[in-house]
Chains A and B, each alone.
Chain A
Amino acid sequence: ETGVTQTPRHLVMGMTNKKSLKCEQHLGHNAMYWYKQSAKKPLELMFVYSLEERVENNSVPSRFSPECPNSSHLFLHLHTLQPEDSALYLCASSQRPLGTGEVEQYFGPGTRLTVT
């Protein structure tokens, strides 16, 4: 596997279910990101982990719970979601920003989540 992979690619869940999204990067990066992509809205940054420490939490509801056990893996645990949470969830990775601006983020293909 190369680049950034995400599983599952598609997920349908009820509002009372608990599920997890998984992201894995094979690029040797040390920062990882979760984004939410909804129709006709800009990408929304949800969480950022740098060196396995959460450094950004963009006012995301507590029904979304991230976990970063190591620099290669990132999870998003989902619990008691709402229909408006249906979206494409994208994971990305990069080197830890050092203030130079020379930072590129590499994205996975996303998980298409539908909440019924």
Chain B
Amino acid sequence: GDSVTQMEGPVTLSEEAFLTINCTYTATGYPSLFWYVQYPGEGLQLLLKATKADDKGSNKGFEATYRKETTSFHLEKGSVQVSDSAVYFCALWMDSSYKLIFGSGTRLLVRP
């Protein structure tokens, strides 16, 4: 079945370091891909999305490119801040389905 695999955390970085959180997916069709972020004590918020191959989603300095050939949607940010500390979820959505399938989440800790 359809699934999403994320790198295990926590990922611990110093402020201004470069961030990569890996995400790969398995799907029978052509899903839309999303990154959600969950700050402590809050629900999930949509961070960015891409709906077709080679699309790049971006928001708040974060970027991810939909790579069909490697079935990946890695999240990157050039310079992280302490305020980016949160749990990041990669997810896929199949057309004609109500299911948003999530990865297990990756916790990011950014130290001053």
User: Is B17 in the interface zone, CB < 8 Å from A?
Assistant: no
**Chain A 27-66 interface residues, beta-carbon cutoff 8 Å to B:** 31, 33, 40-43, 45, 48, 50, 55-56
B95 and A100 contact, CB distance less than 8 A: yes
B46 and A104 contact, CB distance less than 8 A: yes
User: Is B1 in the interface zone, CB < 8 Å from A?
Assistant: no
Bound state CA distance, A6 and B41, in angstroms? 13
**Chain A 81-99 interface residues, beta-carbon cutoff 8 Å to B:** 90, 92, 97, 99
**Given A43-B89, A97-B98, A109-B43; A104-B49 close (CB under 8 Å):** yes
Cβ 8 A contact of A105, one of B4, B31, B100, B103: B100
Bound state CA distance, A56 and B44, in angstroms? 21
Interface on B for A, CB 8 Å cutoff? 4, 31-32, 34, 36, 41-46, 49, 51, 89, 93, 95-100, 102-105
Sample (21) of A-B pairs whose CB atoms are under 8 Å apart: A4-B43, A41-B104, A42-B4, A42-B104, A42-B105, A43-B102, A45-B99, A50-B98, A56-B98, A56-B99, A92-B44, A97-B98, A101-B31, A101-B51, A101-B93, A105-B44, A105-B100, A106-B46, A107-B43, A107-B45, A109-B43
